[in-house]
């Protein structure tokens, strides 16, 4: 039951949901997330650490950059929640704006 509670707690924050929505299609550099969310690096990193500690995201280092992606494997319960997130998160007004900002940012900038 504690794992289930932690899972829901991880999903109970708007910023973490926005991050998950941005990561649904592809991995992103932390600099992309900072630019799109328009939040300080410390805030974004704190939420990414929480998502990593609860098994929602994984990271990899490439030079000085950290890239984050959704963890696709896991329990049947977590896979069901991820399916629901994939269906519903991209339709929310705020996440639509985030994805548009990501598209604009990606066209004009690069972390590397």
Convert the pLDDT of each residue in 46-57 to its tens digit.
Answer: 999 999 999 999
**What does the block give as tokens for 26?**
């592809």
Q: What angle do CA 17, 66, 102 make, to 5 degrees?
A: 50
How far is residue 111's CA from residue 9's CA, in Å, rounded to a whole number? Answer: 31
Long-range contacts of 4-11, Cβ-Cβ distance < 8 Å, separation of 24 or more: 4/77, 6/54, 7/54, 7/77, 7/78, 7/81, 9/54, 10/50, 10/51, 10/54, 10/56, 11/81, 11/85
Which domains are present in the chain?
2-101 (1.10.10.10)
Convert the pLDDT of each residue in 14-30 to its tens digit.
Answer: 999 999 999 998 899 99
pLDDT at res. 108: 59
pLDDT for residue 42 is more than 70: yes
Question: Which one is predicted more confidently, 112 or 53?
Answer: 53
- Tokens 């969310």 map to which residue? 37
pTM listed for this prediction: 0.90
DSSP state of 63: T
How far is residue 30's CA from residue 93's CA, in Å, rounded to a whole number? Answer: 22
Strand order in the sheet with 28-29: 28-29, 65-70, 57-62
Convert the pLDDT of each residue in 82-111 to its tens digit.
Answer: 999 999 999 999 999 999 999 887 765 655
**What does the block give as tokens for 50?**
């929480």
pLDDT at res. 25: 87
């Amino acid at each position: 039951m504690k794992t289930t509670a932690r899972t829901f707690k991880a999903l109970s924050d708007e910023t973490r949901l926005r991050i998950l929505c941005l990561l649904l299609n592809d991995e992103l550099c932390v600099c992309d997330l900072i630019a799109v969310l328009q939040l300080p690096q410390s805030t974004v990193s704190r939420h990414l650490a929480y998502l990593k500690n609860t098994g929602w995201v994984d990271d990899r280092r490439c030079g000085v950059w950290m890239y984050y992606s959704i963890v696709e494997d896991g329990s049947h319960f977590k896979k069901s929640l991820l399916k629901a997130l994939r269906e519903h998160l991209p339709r929310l007004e705020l996440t639509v704006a985030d994805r548009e900002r990501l598209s604009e940012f990606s066209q004009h900038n690069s972390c590397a």
